Structure 1
Amino acid sequence: MNYRQGVFTLAKCEQLAETTYSFVITCHEIASLAKAGQFAHLRVPGFSLRRPISICEVLPQEGAIRVVFDIRGEGTKALATLKSGDSIDIMAPLGNGFSLLEPDKKAIVIGGGIGVPPLLEIAKHYGENSRAVLGFRSKTAVILQNDFASAGCGVHLCTDDGSMGRKGFVTAILKEQLDAEKPDILYACGPRPMLKAVAALAKEYGVRCQLSLEERMACGVGACLGCACKTRKDGKETYSHVCKNGPVFEAEEVVFDE
């Protein structure tokens, strides 16, 4: 695993939604290594465990990465108080990212809530050959739709309460998109029930699909067993570390317990 650890500078801090924040961190060497789907482990002063946060964008020309996170507890609440110019201790890039095909291939990305940010770098890669189906609780939680559109990606929004975009689940829109034009690959990140439904549609339509799993992580490098998940290798069930073996897996490798 090729990663770097160090103290770097927050170049830009921005609140994107009610409880969602964006950090641009200047870290030239990490930016030269990072790939779509990998994550960063951020140290929060006063807390023993680092916080794993997906890399939203890789900005090599700026020598920076962008991470987007939601306040989920006291650690991320403290993290959100940092300001531009502050220092932050990070380890990155960690984990195995998404496999990107040639940019002229067709791709659909499917994101749910805070699972949306790691998909932006994919949309930037495929540009006008990509479509995004993004789901959120309500309009107050919607993020990054303009960033996806700026990448040339066709954006389809839905919310649980219908306050923005279509009311309902991402899978309804995804099925319509698959009926209209079958892509070369699907990428998804979000809640486990959503990933299970996306994987089922990918199998039904015969489309390759990669899933980024969201699990609690402690060490971030595969030394502990905190993020073990059930997977299938060579026809046999086993356990994999989301932080080291993932977070990205082929959809058929992931075992979804009933």
Structure 2
Amino acid sequence: MSKQMEQAGVVSHLWLASTIKMLTLRAPVIAQCAEPGQFIHMRVADSYHPLLRRPFSIADADPQAGTISIIYRIVGAGTELLAKVKDGDQVNCLGPLGKAFELNCHKPLLVGGGMGLAPLLFLARRLCPRPVQVISGGRTAAEMVWPALFQPLCENVAITTDDGSVGRRGVTTDLLPKLLTDGQFDRIYACGPRPMLIGVAEITKKFKISCQVSLEEHMACGIGACLACTCSGTDGLRRKICSDGPVFWAEEVLP
């Protein structure tokens, strides 16, 4: 099914941390065809201010209930407006957009940093009942809302924080080599800051394990028309993150 414009009703809007919220929307058309790795492009207010829509990774989709969920951090004017919507309000969504993860694996390892863990949550649900493990990285314990969300879906959740306030002090790539040495993983999925993705790609290349990455980027149109969210591929050609991605094979877009 192609992308759809849908007026989505707010089912719930919950605080997960001081600057992080989970928004669940009744959007049955989008929920029916959404796949892990895809996103929605949302008008965050009932007006043309801000003018541009905002992209949000789909963190969950329930076709039977007709709902989708996003998890976002309040970082600017758009998300500040979105944070004010309440149960019963409606927001306009375009989606699902973008290229999804490929699920043809037997033992996956998910690696996420910060808000990059949001699309991996949907992925973990769709990968079940395969044995899923995840490395969850963040800055501090106060922002580490993810383990409680992943634990019902994964057999193991490893945690790193920049300051060591929970889990291991450091970053996700500090744990990755040992896990790849000890495990029998046949696919790595990663989403997060670009330096983390480059590190993951380098490590998985050494271990000769296939790796898909989801790139994060500011977007304007969200459908590949404006060329605002392009990146350079390893073949020298430009890629549109919104329509050619956001999911790519690591060797396509990372050194």
Which position in structure 2 is the counterpart of 1:67? 70
Q: Where do 1:37-48 residues align within 5 Å?
A: 37-45=37-45, 46-48=49-51
Stretches of structure 1 lacking an aligned partner (at least 5 in a row): none
Q: CA RMSD in A?
A: 1.2
Contact preservation (8 Å) 2:132, 2:153: no
> Whole-Å Cα distance in 1 between the matches of residues 27 and 197 of structure 2?
32
Which position in structure 1 is the counterpart of 2:104? 101
CA drift of 1:6 comes to 2.1
Which position in structure 2 is the counterpart of 1:92? 95
Question: 2:59 aligns to what SS in structure 1?
Answer: strand
CA drift of 1:237 comes to 1.2
> Whole-Å Cα distance in 2 between the matches of residues 250 and 112 of structure 1?
18
Q: What amino acid is aligned across from residue 11 of structure 2 in structure 1?
A: A
User: Could you report, residue by residue, the CA deviation over 1:111-141 in whole angstroms, capped at 9, with x for unpaired residues?
Assistant: 0000001001221233351100010010111
> Whole-Å Cα distance in 2 between the matches of residues 159 and 177 of structure 1?
17
Question: 1:146 aligns to what SS in structure 2?
Answer: helix
The answer to whether 1:214 aligns with 2:216 is yes
User: Could you report, residue by residue, the CA deviation over 1:56-78 in whole angstroms, capped at 9, with x for unpaired residues?
Assistant: 01111210111111112111111
Which position in structure 1 is the counterpart of 2:251? 252
Question: 2:37 aligns to what SS in structure 1?
Answer: coil
> Whole-Å Cα distance in 2 between the matches of residues 69 and 221 of structure 1?
21
**Most deviating of 108-117 and 127-136:** 127-136
Q: Where do 1:165-180 residues align within 5 Å?
A: 165-180=167-182
The answer to whether 1:117 aligns with 2:118 is yes
Q: What amino acid is aligned across from residue 225 of structure 2 in structure 1?
A: A
Question: 1:223 aligns to what SS in structure 2?
Answer: coil
Q: What amino acid is aligned across from residue 127 of structure 2 in structure 1?
A: Y
Question: 1:237 aligns to what SS in structure 2?
Answer: coil
**Most deviating of 107-116 and 15-24:** 15-24
CA drift of 1:172 comes to 1.3
The answer to whether 1:13 aligns with 2:13 is yes
CA drift of 1:227 comes to 0.2
Which position in structure 1 is the counterpart of 2:240? 241
> Whole-Å Cα distance in 2 between the matches of residues 133 and 255 of structure 1?
20
Which position in structure 1 is the counterpart of 2:153? 151
User: Could you report, residue by residue, the CA deviation over 1:93-113 in whole angstroms, capped at 9, with x for unpaired residues?
Assistant: 0000100125xx100000000
Stretches of structure 2 lacking an aligned partner (at least 5 in a row): none
CA drift of 1:165 comes to 0.8
Distance 1:82 1:243, change over 3 A: same
Which position in structure 2 is the counterpart of 1:53? 56
Count of aligned residue pairs for this structure pair: 251
Q: What amino acid is aligned across from residue 221 of structure 2 in structure 1?
A: C
> Whole-Å Cα distance in 1 between the matches of residues 206 and 238 of structure 2?
25
**Most deviating of 125-134 and 175-184:** 125-134
CA drift of 1:18 comes to 1.7
The answer to whether 1:181 aligns with 2:156 is no
Q: What amino acid is aligned across from residue 9 of structure 1 in structure 2?
A: G
With normalisation by structure 2, the TM-score equals 0.95
CA drift of 1:153 comes to 3.4
Contact preservation (8 Å) 1:228, 1:239: yes
> Whole-Å Cα distance in 2 between the matches of residues 84 and 49 of structure 1?
23
Question: 1:25 aligns to what SS in structure 2?
Answer: strand
CA drift of 1:144 comes to 2.5
With normalisation by structure 1, the TM-score equals 0.94
